[in-house]
Chains A and B, each alone.
Chain A
Amino acid sequence: MFALISELFSVSYTIRTVALGAAVLGIISGMLGCYAVLRRQALLGDAMSHAALPGIVLAFLLTGGRELPVLLLGAAVAGCVATLLLSAITSSTRIKEDSALGMLLSVFFGFGLVLLTFAQKQPSAAQAGLDTFLFGQAASLVQRDVMTMAIIGAVALTIMLLFWKEFKLLSFDPDFASTLGLPVRLLDIGLTSLIVIAIVIGLQTVGVVLMSAMLVAPAVAARQWTDRLGLMVALAGLFGALAGVVGAVLSATARGLSTGPMIVLSVSMIVVLSLLVAPNRGLIWNWLQQQRTAAVCSTPSRTAIRSRIHQ
Chain B
Amino acid sequence: MLVDVKTDTAIEVHDLTVAYRDRPVLWDVDMEVPPGTLLAIVGPNGAGKTTLIKSILGLVKTAAGQTYIYGKPYTAQRHLVAYVPQRGSVDWDFPTNALDVVMMGRYGALGWFRRPGKRERALALEALAKVNMLDFAERQISQLSGGQQQRVFLARALVQDAEVYFMDEPFQGVDVTTERAIVTLLQELRAAGKTVVVVHHDLSTVAEYFDRVMLLNVRRVALGLVAEVFTEHNLSLTYGGRVSTTAGR
**Residues of A participating in the B interface, judged by any CB pair closer than 8 Å:** 38, 40, 162-166, 168-169, 171-173, 175-182, 223, 226-229, 232
Contacts and interface: CB of A to CB of B under 8 A. Distances in A.
Given A175-B89, A176-B104, 12 more contacts: A38-B91, A163-B113, A164-B115, A166-B112, A171-B94, A172-B90, A175-B54, A175-B83, A176-B85, A182-B108, A228-B96, A232-B95
B104 A172 contact: yes
Interface of B: 54, 57-59, 75, 78, 81, 83, 85, 89-91, 94-97, 101, 104, 107-108, 110, 112-113, 115-116, 140, 142, 156
A172 B78 contact: no
B82 to A, nearest CB: 8
A181 B78 CA distance: 7
A179 B95 contact: no
A178 B61 CA distance: 13
B185 to A, nearest CB: 19
A179 B59 contact: yes
Contacts of B95: 38, 223, 226-229, 232
B104 A179 contact: no
Contact of B96 (A172, A176, A182): A172
Contacts of A182: 107-108
Contacts of B83: 175-176, 179
A8 to B, nearest CB: 36
B129 to A, nearest CB: 22
Contacts of A171: 94
Contacts of A168: 96, 104
Q: Indicate the member of A40, A176, A182, A232 with the most B CB atoms within 10 Å.
A: A176
Please provide the 7 A-B residue pairs with the shortest distance between their CB atoms, ordered closest to farther: A180-B108, A227-B140, A179-B83, A181-B78, A173-B90, A172-B94, A229-B95
A189 B101 CA distance: 23
B91 A172 contact: yes
Contacts of A176: 83, 85, 104, 156
B78 A180 contact: yes
8 contacts: A166-B112, A172-B104, A175-B83, A176-B156, A179-B58, A181-B108, A227-B96, A228-B97
Contacts of B94: 38, 171-172, 229
A171 B101 CA distance: 12
B107 A173 contact: no
A173 B102 CA distance: 12
Given A38-B95, A227-B97, A180 B89 contact: no
A58 B83 CA distance: 48
Q: Indicate the member of A165, A171, A226 with the most B CB atoms within 10 Å.
A: A165
Nearest to B139: A227
A178 B104 contact: no
Contacts of B78: 179-181
